[in-house]
Amino acid sequence: MVTSPLSTVLFDLDGTLLDTAPDFIRCLNQLREQLGAPPLAPEVIRPAVSSGARAMIQVGFGLTPDDRDYAARHAAFLDLYEAGVAEETRLFPGMGDVLDWLEQHRIPWGIVTNKPVRFTTPLLAGLALGSRCASVVCPDHVEQRKPHPESLYLACQQMGVDGRQGLYVGDHLRDIEAGRSAGMTTVAARYGYVDGADQVESWHADHVVDSAPELTALLDHLHTP
């Protein structure tokens, strides 16, 4: 567990820092419309967002990578997403206050995501976040993506901080596993894209928060300069 003061806070991106689901839902239903299929309800797609395009293609079309049409649907979906990566995406409610708190306390924050650079860079630019975060690590930058801790180690190295005094916040079991393996204090974001069948407590994160304001309160509690 972290002892004060905090050295850094690292965030997963989709479902933790940003509510990217509206753009994914729009693009998946746009592709379904192009193929003559009716739209899916947002609540059907939303839980799959943190598991990436593969999971969304399975939800949207019942296809896996072994299926004949999978590669074409996957590529078309990602092209649609790239063309409108920041149209409806926003910070989760209260997350702007979390970032303001970190910057006011001079605590560097970063992003460690399994989202490729192709989408992450324009997304952060579109939301004016790229210049604010001290590190952005995507799978393009490492040999092993989460749940391996390599990307978290790299982010801490880039910021020049001791990760053992930092937090990693995520909405998926792999985030908690990566943070734990990196020796960081872990925070499960239950407000994110958590599948209804998942029991977040079973992830054994050090803390669980149900909203960004709860995260601010946790930071206040943990950080004693």
Please give the positions annotated as active site: 12, 14
174-184 per-residue burial string, b: 16 or more CB within 10 A, e: under 16: bbbbbbbbbbb
DSSP symbols for the chain = ---SSP--EEE-TBTTTEE-HHHHHHHHHHHHHHTT-PPPPHHHHGGGGGG-HHHHHHHHH---TTSTTHHHHHHHHHHHHHHTTTSS-EEPTTHHHHHHHHHHTT--EEEE-SS-HHHHHHHHHHTT-TTT-SEEE-GGG-SS-TTSTHHHHHHHHHHT--GGG-EEEESSHHHHHHHHHTT-EEEEETTSS--TT--GGGG--SEEESSHHHHHHHHHHH---
